[in-house]
Homo-oligomer: A and B are copies of this chain.
Amino acid sequence: MPSETHRRQRRIEIAEATWRVIERAGPTGASMREIAREAGYTTGVLSHHFRDKHELVTFAFELAIERSTARAIAASQDAGLVDGLAALLPLDQERRRLATLWMVTLAASRGETAQAAQMQRHYRQAQQALLAVLHQAVGAGSEQESAELVEELLVVVDGITVNALTDPDSYPPDRQVALLQRAARRRGLEPDQGTDRTPLRPGTSRSR
């Protein structure tokens, strides 16, 4: 169905414009008019594709989660656990935008219950898919150890992300990666130095 494909493509295009507007103006400043201007459409076209701002922001959030989960899964399969996790950090403009969407949308959706619940559900599903892949990437230890390891490192990623988004000057990419690698080492994983391209070898915990 080419028209269905076209419709999906148009929704994605509008969602990506929404990311850019939310990134610079925050969720409050992201009016339908501003998003339409950013996307290069009239607000009429937006209304044709999304019932209201809630539906648009929810779709944009879900797309951001899918996009960043897919990045993390690919990086984890290519290069190992720590690279998979690093794919979630706001290390470049694209990842920064996806992480911003994650944070501001979750924060702003508190109190708007139906929307928040839907986004939560979607987020948890994406996390489950990611956990399964990261779990495989650990490749050592018991199932429970591996689950705990991934859980702890995801919490570290979220903590680094919040700090990096709200105080970018203090958290340049190399500090973010160093913090993640240090956390991985503390847990007995030995990522290779240098890039975030290198596979991860399970090893013994050693202090820096």
Contact = CB atoms under 8 A, between A and B. Distances in A.
Contacts of A160: 155, 159
Interface string A74-86: 0000000000000
Given A27-B108, A103-B107, A155 B167 contact: no
A117 B165 CA distance: 13
Interface stretch (A5-13, A35-43, A179-187, A190-198): A179-187
Is chain A's binding surface mostly helix, strand, loop or mixed? helix
A115 B159 CA distance: 23
Interface residues of A, number: 46
Given A23-B110, A26-B108, 11 more contacts: A27-B28, A100-B110, A103-B107, A104-B107, A107-B107, A110-B166, A123-B167, A124-B170, A151-B179, A159-B159, A159-B160
16 contacts: A104-B107, A104-B110, A108-B108, A148-B208, A151-B179, A152-B156, A152-B186, A155-B159, A155-B160, A156-B159, A158-B162, A158-B163, A159-B162, A162-B162, A186-B186, A205-B205
Interface of A: 23-29, 100, 103-104, 106-112, 120, 123-124, 145, 148, 151-152, 154-160, 162-163, 165-167, 170, 179, 182-183, 186-188, 205, 207-208
